[in-house]
Amino acid sequence: MKKRSLIILVILVLAVSGLGAAQTAGPGDAVETTSSGLINWTAGEIYATGIGAPPAQPASVAQARAMAERAAYVVALRNLLEAVKGVRVDSESTVENFMVTSDVIRTHVDGIVRGARITKTRYMADGSVEVQVAMPLRGDLMDALVPENFGRPTGPQLPKPAPVPQKPSDVKPIPQPSKPEPSKPVTPPAPENKPEPVKPTLPPAGQVPEKKPEPTKPETPVQEAPTIEFKGGVATGLVIDGRGLGLRPALLPKILDNQGQEIYVGQIVTRTNAVEQGVAGYARDVSAAENNFRVTDNPAVLKGISASGSSRTDIVVGQADARMLRQLSSKGDFLQYCRVIIVY
C-alpha cells in the first residue's frame, strides 16, 4: 500500500513538472533565450532556473531536501535578476541601464525579482533539486521603468482662455504740429545709356547650328500602394509582419514611417495602458498573431519595411501604410488600448 502511494506521488510530481514546462512557451509563442533565462514575449513572462545540492551530512532526508530547495530557489532568483537586466526597454537602453542610473529603480527591480513565483520543481535522483521561477514583464516592472511623463495625458484637455480685449484709453493724445520739411535741390536726371543691339553671330559656312536642349519635365512620383490587409469596417487591432528585418523585441517599441516620424507609442498610448497591458505583444507567425485575443476579431495586417534604432527594436512601415494606419486609428481606439502584435 505504501509502495503504491509512493508511485502515485512520483507520478503527480512529474505531471506538475510537465505542466510547468508546457506553460513556459506555446507552439506559436515568440521566445528569446538568454544565458540566464528565457523570455516569452507573447505571454509577457520571464523565466529562470536554479539547481541546489543537498548538504554533505544532513541531519535527515527531509532537511536535506529543504536545504536543496532553498539553495535552488536562491540560484534561480539570481539568474532571474541577470535575465531581467538584459531585457530591452527601447531601442537605446536595457533594464540594466535604468538600474545603474537610478538607485530607486534598482531597489524596486530587486524587490520585484525577489517576489517571483515558483512555476516548477524537479527532484533529482541524487537528492538535488531544480527550481524554476517566473515573473511578468508587465505591471510592476513596467511601472518601475516607464517615466512618469510618458504617454498621452489621461485627463480632459482644458481649452485655452480667450485673450482679454484691451480697453482703449479715454485720454486722447494731443496732435503735434507737423514741421515743414526743407526743400531739396532738384538734380537733373542722368542721361540714359542705351545698350547697342547685339548682332546675331552666324556659324561658318557649311556648319550646322547646334540646337539648345529642351528643358526636361520633372518626373511624376509613383504613388506607393498600401499593403494593409483589412476586412473593412472598424479595425479592432493591428498586426505588423516584421519577419526578415532583424527586428528585436522590447518593452517600448515604436512604429515609424519612412521619414522617421512616430506613428505609435508615447503620443498615442497612456501610461496606465502601457504599464498594465504592455505597449505591444509579439508572435512567431502571422496566423498566431491574427488569432490572438489581444487584437480580437478584425485586425489590420501590414508588412514592415525595416527595423530602426541602435538595438533594432522599432519597426518602420511604408508611407502609404503609415497614411492608411493613421486613417484607421482615427476611426477606432485600438492603438490607444495597445492592441498591437509584432511578428518577428
Model confidence pLDDT, tens digit, residues 166-186: 445 444 555 555 555 555 555
What is the rounded distance in angstroms from the CA atom of residue 336 to the CA atom of residue 151? 10
Average pLDDT, stretch 109-122? Answer: 96
| Strands 306-308 and 255-256, bridge-based pairing | unpaired
DSSP tally for the chain: helices H, then strands E: 8, 13
Output the nine-digit C-alpha cell for 86: 538584459
Strand, coil or helix: what is 205? coil
What is the rounded distance in angstroms from the CA atom of residue 225 to the CA atom of residue 53? 62
pLDDT confidence of residue 87: 97
Tell me the residue type at 67. M
Q: Tell me: pLDDT of 73 over 50.
A: yes
Average pLDDT, stretch 24-46? Answer: 90
Average pLDDT, stretch 139-162? Answer: 76
Categorize the per-residue pLDDT at 188 as very low, low, confident or very high, splitting at 50, 70 and 90.
low
Categorize the per-residue pLDDT at 103 as very low, low, confident or very high, splitting at 50, 70 and 90.
very high
What is the rounded distance in angstroms from the CA atom of residue 11 to the CA atom of residue 268? 51
Q: Tell me: pLDDT of 21 over 70.
A: no
Reading phi first (left if > 0) and then psi (alpha if -120 to 50, else beta), residue 236 is in alpha
pTM, rounded to two decimals: 0.72
Angle between helices 103-114 and 61-85 (to 10 degrees): 140
Q: Tell me: pLDDT of 333 over 50.
A: yes
Q: Which of 85, 78, 96 is nearest to 133 (CA)?
A: 78
Q: Tell me: pLDDT of 213 over 70.
A: no
Average pLDDT, stretch 47-73? Answer: 91
Output the nine-digit C-alpha cell for 9: 506521488
pLDDT confidence of residue 195: 56
Q: Tell me: pLDDT of 302 over 60.
A: yes
pLDDT confidence of residue 22: 40
Q: Tell me: pLDDT of 1 over 80.
A: no
pLDDT confidence of residue 267: 87
Q: Tell me: pLDDT of 20 over 70.
A: no
pLDDT confidence of residue 209: 55
What is the rounded distance in angstroms from the CA atom of residue 56 to the CA atom of residue 66? 14
